[in-house]
Amino acid sequence: MDFNKDTAKKTAELLLQIKAIKLSPQNPFTWASGWKSPIYCDNRVTLSYPPVRNFLKEEIAKLVEEKHGKPDVIAGVATGAIAIGILVAQELGVPFIYIRPEPKKHGRKNQIEGHLESGQNVVVIEDLISTGKSSLNAVKALKEAHANVKGMVAIFSYGFNIASENFEKDNVELTTLSNYEYMLEQALDSKYITSEELRSLEDWRMNPSKWKQNEE
């Protein structure tokens, strides 16, 4: 994946500054999957900081047009990417829809909310890519609705190999503003972490499911 290095590092710096990304190698977080992790990323925090959300809106919109041209529709993945997706759609002046993890149990039982016509070109917006499973589930719903999914643009990716494999297998082009490697580089440059903490963070990235699993 090609990155604009300046954009990738600035994105990482902003996420670290506002604590949308929290790094804690000494006292790791536990994810829902049971993995222990030295990083926790919640990009919804960006919505509380107008300069940050404006930067993300403009950079994602620029990336969408550079990679895919102006789409007919922007789609956000519920729930984390609904707000940033709306901002990007507004920036581009195109309609917005969002995709639920599964169809509603009542009413019209929609999985896709908003107006989508068969054959329309859609770019999907995500806030965070881990394994890519939920993101690709949204793409599947769009394809079943006969949308032409041009690709996906996200704020940040952990850069797991499993995610790359999943996107490649489903033939979906993924582009992100920043990723784990750029974030580590920026965190070290800005002294958010020490060299010793960097090694621990790199170890986690190499084998996240096993990292510190035997420690109490």
Q: Can you tell me the distance from the alpha carbon of 72 to that of 54, in angstroms, rounded to the nearest whole number? A: 22
The yes-or-no verdict on residue 212 having pLDDT over 90 is no
Higher pLDDT, 208 or 172: 172
Q: Which residues are annotated as a binding site for orotate?
A: 130
- Domain 5-206 part of CATH 3.60.70.12: no
Q: What is the pTM of this model?
A: 0.93
The yes-or-no verdict on residue 3 having pLDDT over 90 is no
User: Residues 43-90: pLDDT tens digits?
Assistant: 999 999 999 999 999 999 999 999 999 999 999 999 999 999 999 999
User: Residues 135-162: pLDDT tens digits?
Assistant: 999 999 999 999 999 999 999 999 998 9
| Structure confidence at residue 214 as a pLDDT band (50, 70, 90) | low
Give just the sign of the alpha carbon dihedral 22, 24, 29, 34. Answer: positive
User: Residues 85-136: pLDDT tens digits?
Assistant: 999 999 999 999 999 998 877 767 789 999 999 999 999 999 999 999 999 9
Q: Can you tell me the distance from the alpha carbon of 81 to that of 78, in angstroms, rounded to the nearest whole number? A: 6
Q: Determine contact, residues 97/115, Cβ cutoff 8 Å.
A: yes
Q: Which residues are annotated as a binding site?
A: 100, 104, 106, 126-134
Q: Hey, where are the domains in the chain?
A: 5-206
Q: Which residues are annotated as a binding site for 5-phospho-alpha-D-ribose 1-diphosphate?
A: 100, 104, 106, 126-134
